[in-house]
Chains A and B, each alone.
Chain A
Amino acid sequence: GRTLKKRSIEEHGKKMDLELHAMKIESKVTSRFAHTVVISQVLNRANVSKEAFFEIELPKTAFITNFSMTLDGVTYVGVVKEKEVAQKQYQQAVSRGQTAGLVKASGRKMEKFKVSVNIGTKKKVIFELTYEELLKRHLGAYEMQIRVKPQQLVNHFQIDVHIFEPQGIAFLNVDANFLTNNLTSIVKNTTSGTKAHVSFKPTLQQQRKCPDCHETILDGDFIIKYDVNRDLSAGSVQIVNGYFVHHFAPANLARIPKNVIFVIDHSGSMSGTKMHQTNEALVKILGDMDTKDHFGIIIFDDTIDTWKGTIFQATLENVIEAKKFVKSISARGGTNINDPMVSAVRLLDKAYQDKQLPERSVSMIILLTDGHPNSGESDPTRIQQNVKNAANGKYNVYCLGFGYDVNYNFLEKMALENNGVARRIYEDSDAPLQLQGFYDEVANPLLLDIEFQYPENAISESTQANFKHLFAGSEIVVAGKIVDNSLDYLRADVVAKTANENLTLQAEVKVSEAENITQQQQYIFGDFTERLWAYLTIQQLLEKRISAETDEKKNLTDRILELSLKYSFVTTLTSMVVTKPEENKNNTFVADKPSEDEKVTRPSFSGYSMGVSSRFQRPVYSYVDSD
């Protein structure tokens, strides 16, 4: 009889010189904090040395915490260092003509980590990268994105995601855009109560694009979306090893009316697609407004024009009129950002004075611009000051930077100084959806002036505990240290305002019980609460640093550095240095975290990948400095 032989990637005589033998992506998520490890094993079957690449994309919100490569049984581990120190080391390496590995921004949500190493004949290398991130609740779900692109068939390919959420998992969906309908069954999803396990282990045959070809279908995003059970309560408080984390996103709250002033750039640079897309998005956004909301529209180039000079309630008639107006906006002239922003503030001030707006409502200004201020007040710092002084903490300012030429730093600082956020709108066919998506995030305010109160002497180093708003579909997270060793119960009070009333919610957690519950779970990595606290603290300090003055900025920088180094996070202030072996000399590479400030480029090549090049055709690297 004929011997049945397992099909392998070597069949049909097309033996691969560099074989991606195994790739394993394992993620453990506890209370939204995800710890992901990517392990890739490459064999060199050729009779000459080959250069193997390890290239993966990780979420921009993640911090790399560890990287190692094992060659000939020797493991080379990355060390997180202060950026300046790492840069000196890197420059020395460059001056010696050596190469450097790095992280680059890649597209909207991801950044790319890439490193290569030369491996001798019949040898193997194992790459291992670890990163951590706090999954953010966005429009009612946490989203975990794993970008998959091995570029060749993999003998052992595996994605394993274990989730533990003490509040219970309300739903969990897995979507992989590269899987055809008949292959979706390969994804195993087991969810029960507080735990979920998602597993994806395609065989070689299942990875093939066609029965006998070597092309792989594994090219795209593997996305897990889930949410936890929630009700109208103070939320969930978990305590592990003396650190607590408090998640708050109550259900069953009525929305609070909002007042939005859209400040729309229609300068010459917006002409064409951007203007059409803006018109399209605004029409849709106006259509989605609640009738209790109020809105105003200010358009600007080098002059400003307030639609009908006032704010309107979003009644059907007013919305129809406004839609006609926004459809007619066309691009021309320069860019005066100062005057329309100050006018937007005055418009809201007047509407409040005239009692035109509900007493308890959320007022916001949404600025959409694609360029730099070049008309009227054009000094970004003075514009920021003018807007801050005018708004005086009363109104949120959201800045949407459209396209590649915006001064993102300027917009980000202006937004952060006024309780808002900045976002990039990527110039692409889905720009209207991006605009609408952002609007949806802030469309439904649920609570105002939210204050988290914990026993003063029992906790310390809490992350931000006062928030201006809570929007539907989002979540507030507070973490801190418990300093009272004899604390039996941790009591958390959440005080906030709803549309009509003042709301107080209270949670009381027995410290010993909380510790027990989480410690009994096999899913967690022991110190996750502490790492989550460090992650959140760093994120918030980095944000605060953007609008800090000199002295405060230095203090913040010192603290961020201290925490990043202590917890081994590659943030925008630290770098990871790995010394890799290359024949008889050592080669240093540095992994940095890029910032959103970088000029955006379209992604051209992405995914978890492994490539091959001749050792004499070294890839050219450029050093990416995020700061």
Chain B
Amino acid sequence: PHFIISINDRSDAICFNIDGKPGAILNVVTDPSTDFVVNGELIGEKKIEKNVKMNTYFGKFGIVNTQMGVKVEVSTKMITVFHGVEKIIFPWSSTASLTKESFSISIVKEKNLTLTMGDDATFVIVLHRVWKNHPLHRDFLGFYTLDSHRLSNRTHGLLGQFYREVNAEIYNIRPGLDQGKPDATMIVKGHKLRVTRGYQKDYRLDPKRGTNIPCWFVHYNGKGFIDGIPTDYVVTSLF
């Protein structure tokens, strides 16, 4: 999956990829203060070809708010809401919303769902439907944070660590290896990194074609930009 992070008061963006194995579960957000966790499970293509870099995507998300007693599992097939002992399963084929004082879920059929946890956070999960007979690709999900201002400073995870404003200094913009993709040097979190100008897609408005977001690409699984290495974010279960 690819990640896009706004920097410098949303004036620019950093992007990076995380390569993982299908079936691996990555921690996306963890806030120990509010007991809020988002984990995502990776899926691969339908066929695995030798000697070709394998792309992975998020196929399932698990969202837990222990304080509210809410767990939500979102897969490309359905959305399951666990609230206390109650379990409600929504198919992606229906437009629906479920509201409680503390949280709400709103599903736009075959498109996206918006999850609001009280005043704490609002997220959007976008469903990417692929032609079901496509030989290679399969349905996958995208995760977007609309609002995280009430999550604590202790929030971490592949995305969560960037909920605090990231200050990055970009300088020494120079021609890169690919024509039209300049390289630059970025200083962030005390590291000096080589970054390459490119585009990544934001699929919130147009889930089919996406909107191009210009960003500075951090190579090698976001090395130096993310805390630690990708395997630090691997967890054992969705919840």
Contact = CB atoms under 8 A, between A and B. Distances in A.
Interface of A: 231-234, 251-254, 498-508
A506 B110 CA distance: 13
Interface residues on B, range: 10 to 19
B95 A505 contact: yes
A254 B91 contact: no
B203 interface: no
Of B84, B89, B99, which is in contact with the most chain A CB atoms at under 10 Å from its CB?
B89
B177 interface: no
Contacts of A232: 88-91, 94, 96
Interface in B178-225: none
Given A253-B88, A254-B85, A254-B88, A231 B94 contact: yes
Contacts of A251: 89
28 contacts: A231-B90, A231-B94, A232-B89, A232-B90, A233-B93, A233-B96, A234-B94, A234-B95, A251-B89, A252-B88, A252-B90, A253-B88, A254-B86, A498-B86, A498-B98, A499-B86, A500-B84, A501-B83, A501-B100, A503-B88, A503-B96, A504-B98, A504-B99, A505-B95, A506-B96, A507-B94, A507-B95, A508-B95
A188 B152 CA distance: 65
Of A231, A232, A234, A505, which is in contact with the most chain B CB atoms at under 10 Å from its CB?
A232
Of B85, B86, B99, B100, which is in contact with the most chain A CB atoms at under 10 Å from its CB?
B86
Contacts of B94: 231-234, 505-507
B83 A504 contact: no
B87 interface: yes
B100 to A, nearest CB: 4
B37 to A, nearest CB: 21
A506 B95 contact: yes
B237 interface: no
Interface of B: 83-91, 93-100, 109
B151 to A, nearest CB: 23
Contacts of B83: 500-501
Nearest to A508: B95
Contact of B98 (A231, A233, A503, A507): A503
A540 B90 CA distance: 31
Given A252-B87, A254-B85, A500-B83, 12 more contacts: A231-B94, A233-B96, A234-B94, A252-B88, A498-B86, A498-B98, A501-B100, A502-B99, A502-B100, A503-B98, A505-B95, A505-B96
A476 to B, nearest CB: 16
Contacts of B90: 231-233, 252
A502 to B, nearest CB: 5
Which 4 pairs, one residue from A and one from B, show the smallest C-beta to C-beta distance? A233-B94, A506-B95, A252-B89, A254-B86
Nearest to B95: A506
Contacts of B85: 254
B111 to A, nearest CB: 12
Contacts of B93: 231, 233
Nearest to A505: B96
Contacts of B89: 231-232, 251-252
Contacts of B87: 252, 254
Of B90, B93, B96, which is in contact with the most chain A CB atoms at under 10 Å from its CB?
B96
